[in-house]
Structure 1
Amino acid sequence: MQRRRFLTAAGTASILGLAGCSSSGDSSTDPPTATSAESTPTRTAESTPDPTTTQPTTRSVDELKDDAVEVEYDELFRNFEQYAEENTPIYYPYGGIYQTLYDEYEGGIDHLQLQVSTNDQAWQGDIVAMWGGDKRYLENDVLELWGRPVDLYEYTTVNDDVRTIPRITMVDAQLINED
């Protein structure tokens, strides 16, 4: 039922391929060991733009995963508009969830904030991932994830600082480990 609400909320053809795509798996791969984000964000009116701004595509989840680019965080952030404009699927072998807001977006879409990395040495930066799949992820879970760029997400931290980070629509994820 959540899947249907997600599809309706997203309103894009590419999300139709998500039916039954969520899965969980175990891996003995150790995640990066760096600490989590320096401050926990607080929600503001401008921090929850419409998640339907993702660009439409007719590719299936498997095709998106096959076409996904593993990109270091700095490269993604510096050239985000290019990745979003070209609708380039993004892949991170490591994503550590440090905040979850369930049903944050219309249609029961979850808001996950993650530290991400292309290697198992250190976290490179953090992103927001919108997730409407069947699997519920928790804070401190470490994932392998695939997604499509949406926009740059701006929020105010508990320290009253304004931060901007990339936001993606997560199309699939594999649970690497759970704390």
Structure 2
Amino acid sequence: VIQKLLGERETNFDNEFITNIVDAYLDEMNQHGQRSTYFSKENLDSLVQDLFVAGTETISNTLHWTIFYIVAHPHVQVNIHEEIDRIIGKDRPPCDKDRSRMFYIEAVLLESMRCHCAGPILLPRATTQDITFHNYFIPKDTFILVNMWSAMKDEQHWSEPEKFEPERFLDENHRLRNVNHPAMMPFSIGKRACT
């Protein structure tokens, strides 16, 4: 399916009308021709597959686990229902501005992502220079894999980390807290974080 779609995109490519990452990639391929080992059809295929998996599988996985936790914890379902009734009511459909006031539901999503990270190991990174990190020497060009799962299950950062507890993301006024917790990184952190 991906090959067919890429073939159609390549056939209909117009460098005057670049609208997405595939168009931009095809434009780079055309500009560099055979000189580029990076901008190749094989790499384009891999990029599109990665984007497809990252854009669908992670969301699907997160939603499946969230539903599981809601079903496994009936009090969470009751609290969600109460928040929906309080913020949205029964007389209108939800709208975008409602989300910023639905702290409990946001906390449930955050806790679900903390408990079952959609991508537990970050994509590989490489050091650009020799560094020492926490007394460990890491030479330049070393591939680094970050285990986000362990950070989000670390007892130094989370009390009872194996327990599903959305309230850990709410303060005493039931407003969000810990959203930017240093060990909360379901989509990585820093400038390479997924949005």
Tell me, yes or no, whether TM beats 0.5. Answer: no
TM-score (norm: length of structure 2): 0.21
TM-score (norm: length of structure 1): 0.22
More strand by share: 1
Bigger relative contact order (CA 8 A; separation at least 6): 1
More helix by share: 2
